[in-house]
């Protein structure tokens, strides 16, 4: 399987559609792939073995292959910026965000967050009141690589890269799968097991030949 490199995702800290990762040296979380801390396979497995339920190691190679460039609204001007001699502009929609990321005008359809698809204009169309215009270079210099959390594939990004789900997580997943909110009773009439939502009083038996049988179980 080779010596793969991993990132540690924090599924609790998703921002918009972007997956968040543990930053370099544990300095918080980031949606910027290139600012995320990298782990060897052995380091990733050891961390996961003692991690929280929302921490998840993912293959850097797989994440990079599906990465998309986004631009955070906090890193560009919030008003149209005109520069004399500039012949390359991009436009983003006012008051529309994916988390903090901007939606860019593109050549083939509705606005997109993928900055690589942003249409480059020779001059801004200032008649569009719903659009902010910037020189292309202003936005391009602050773009960052991100990964959409909906694109997560645990089999190809984790299991096939040699990582093993920790025992504690397997047990937790089984408990969640089996949890219905019902409590177990033994029928006082026939002794058979009965599951019900009411934890305080016996609701009646489902077996027709039991003295505790109630007709509502026929419905």
The pLDDT of residue 52: 92
CA pair distance 59, 67, nearest whole angstrom: 12
114/13 same-domain check: no
Please report which residue ranges of 95-188 form alpha helices under DSSP H.
136-140, 154-157, 167-178
Structural tokens at position 98:
């994916």
pLDDT-based confidence at 180, cuts 50/70/90? low
Our separate counts of H helices and E strands in the chain read 5, 12
Nearest to 186 by CA among 207, 213, 209, 205: 205
pLDDT at residue number 2: 41
pLDDT reported for residue 179? 61
Rounded to whole angstroms, the Cα distance separating 138 from 90 reads 9
The span from the first CA to the last CA of the chain, in angstroms, equals 55
H/E run at residue 100 = none
Mean pLDDT throughout 33-37?
Answer: 98
C-beta separation of 45 from 169 below 8 A: no
**Stretch 175-194: mean pLDDT:** 72
Query: Are residues 134 and 78 both part of a single domain?
Result: yes
Task: Compute the average pLDDT of residues 94-115.
Answer: 95
Same domain, 200 and 102: no
Q: What percent of the chain has pLDDT over 90?
A: 71
State pLDDT tens for residues 53-104: 999 999 999 999 999 999 999 999 999 999 999 999 999 999 999 999 999 9
3-state helix, strand, coil in the chain (%, to 5): 30, 30, 45
- At residue 1, the pLDDT reads 41
29 and 117 inside one domain: no
How far apart are alpha carbons 1 and 22 in whole angstroms? 24
Please give the sequence-ordered ranges of beta strands (E in DSSP) within the chain, or none if there are none: 5-10, 21-22, 29-30, 38-40, 55-59, 68-70, 89-98, 101-104, 131-135, 144-146, 183-186, 193-196
Looking at residue 26, what is its pLDDT?
A: 82
**Average pLDDT of every residue of the chain:** 90
Asked whether 10 and 21 are in contact (CB, 8 A), the reply is: yes
Instruction: Give the residue-averaged pLDDT of 32-44.
Output: 97
Domain residues for the domain of 41 are 5-67+147-176
Cβ contact 31:15 at 8 Å? yes
Query: At residue 207, does pLDDT exceed 80?
Result: no
Number of structural domains the chain divides into: 3
**Main-chain phi, psi angles of 11, to 5 degrees:** -70, -15
For residues 69 and 203, which has the higher predicted lDDT (pLDDT)?
69
One domain for residues 88 and 132: yes
pLDDT digits (tens, 9 = 90+) for 148-159: 999 999 999 999
| pLDDT at site 146 | 99
Which of 144, 161, 196 corresponds to the end of one domain? 144
- Can you give the pTM of this predicted structure? 0.76
């Amino acid at each position: 399987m080779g010596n793969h490199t991993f990132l540690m995702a924090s599924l609790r800290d998703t921002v918009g559609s972007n997956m968040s990762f543990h930053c370099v040296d544990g300095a918080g979380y980031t949606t910027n792939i290139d600012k995320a801390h990298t782990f060897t396979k052995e380091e990733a497995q050891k961390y996961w073995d003692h991690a929280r339920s929302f921490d998840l190691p993912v293959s850097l190679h797989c994440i990079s292959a599906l990465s998309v460039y986004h631009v955070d609204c906090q890193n560009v001007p919030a008003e149209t910026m005109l520069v004399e001699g500039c012949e390359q502009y991009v436009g983003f929609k006012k008051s529309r965000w994916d988390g903090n990321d901007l939606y860019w005008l593109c050549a083939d359809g509705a606005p997109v967050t993928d900055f690589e698809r942003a249409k480059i204009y020779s001059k801004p169309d200032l008649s569009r009141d719903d659009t902010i215009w910037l020189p292309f270079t202003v936005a391009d210099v602050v773009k960052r690589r991100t990964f959409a959390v909906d694109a997560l594939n645990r089999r190809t990004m984790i299991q096939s890269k040699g990582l093993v789900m920790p025992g504690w997580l397997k047990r937790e997943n089984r408990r969640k799968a089996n949890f219905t909110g019902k409590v177990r009773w033994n029928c006082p009439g026939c002794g058979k097991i009965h599951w019900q939502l009411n934890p305080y009083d016996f609701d009646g038996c489902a077996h027709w030949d039991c003295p505790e049988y109630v007709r509502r179980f026929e419905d």
